[in-house]
Copies of this chain bind each other. A is one copy, B any other.
Amino acid sequence: MLKTAILLIDCPDRKGIVAAIANFLVHHDANILHADQHQDIDLALFFMRVEFTLDDTRCSEQHFRSTFAPLAEEFQMDWRLNYTDVPQNVAIFVSSYLHCLADLLHRQQTGEFNCNLSLIISNHPSAQALADFHQVPFHYLPVTASTKAYVEAKQLELLAANSIDLVVLARYMQVLSPQFVNAYPRRIINVHHSFLPAFTGARPYHAAFARGVKLIGATSHYVTEVLDEGPIIEQDVVRVSQNDQLSGLMQKGRDLERLVLSRAVRWHLGHRILCYANKTVVFT
């Protein structure tokens, strides 16, 4: 059977890498659909994404992995191989603002994402109806300062039980603990409602309004231990003026949040993102 796979590579730059990979793929009779590469000249790093089809009966995933491993070792590659016929399992965390959740659910229905939406977790009950309408299991887990550790344990249990590959924080207004974050490195995507690094922390629209900026922004990024400091995946902005009061900023911002979060999710699910030096390389 013809299968489509995506190979992501990250290694020190050195002569012959492209030739080695291309020869390997030719040798296994793979058909390249897309190939993108990036070199960081200063840091002497090489990044590649190759999407290809190959005949499963002639080269199984296991065979590919076992024959590629020595090559990868030779070039000191970090590498990931993913087959597109295995959709990833996604959990969405949300609080009381539902616009990003509603948007993600609609995009999933439209076929924009190659994933299973396995789980919605919220510290508010309000997303229940939306989850039901889209037939996604919903878990209401309220959080207080004293129950936070317990709730996180419960959340991690749900993620594990559902073999979750990606956690999307769709305006989830709780800060996750380092333990939680470290359990899903570069597999938790958050949307922050400002143009980072401007206006980190709480109430960024209030801060932007007070500063009198002429554009407001939104940022999607991987979550790391340090709040709002993870690798940025996507940002976008929209123009505001004196005609926009705080509520106007929030309304315009909601559209931005949906756009930057959905792009980040789509790119992550398409294995289009590589991270290094707290930055992302995005092959769009």
Contacts and interface: CB of A to CB of B under 8 A. Distances in A.
Interface in A11-57: 15-16, 18-19, 22-23, 25-26, 29-42, 47
Contacts of A19: 19, 22-23, 25-26
B15 A31 contact: yes
Interface string A239-250: 101110100000
Given A23-B23, A112-B251, A215 B195 contact: yes
Contact of A243 (B106, B242, B284): B284
A215 B236 contact: yes
A114 interface: no
A66 to B, nearest CB: 21
A40 B282 CA distance: 20
Contacts of A239: 239
A199 interface: yes
A237 B215 contact: yes
A195 B36 CA distance: 30
A152 interface: no
A281 interface: yes
A137 interface: no
A261 interface: no
Contact of A217 (B41, B133, B215): B215
A122 interface: no
A211 interface: yes
A231 B212 CA distance: 7
A245 B41 contact: yes
Interface in A98-119: 98-99, 102-103, 106, 110, 112
Contacts of A213: 196-197, 232, 235
A243 B42 CA distance: 13
A232 B255 contact: no
Given A99-B106, A231-B212, A234-B214, A15 B29 contact: yes
Contacts of A23: 19, 22-23
A38 B237 contact: no
Contacts of A98: 110
A278 interface: yes
Contact of A198 (B198, B231, B284): B198
Interface of A: 15-16, 18-19, 22-23, 25-26, 29-42, 47, 98-99, 102-103, 106, 110, 112, 129, 133, 195-199, 211-215, 217, 231-237, 239, 241-243, 245, 251, 254-255, 259, 277-282, 284
Given A40-B242, A241-B282, 16 more contacts: A19-B26, A34-B39, A35-B37, A38-B242, A41-B245, A42-B245, A129-B133, A195-B215, A197-B213, A211-B232, A212-B231, A212-B277, A212-B279, A215-B235, A242-B280, A255-B259
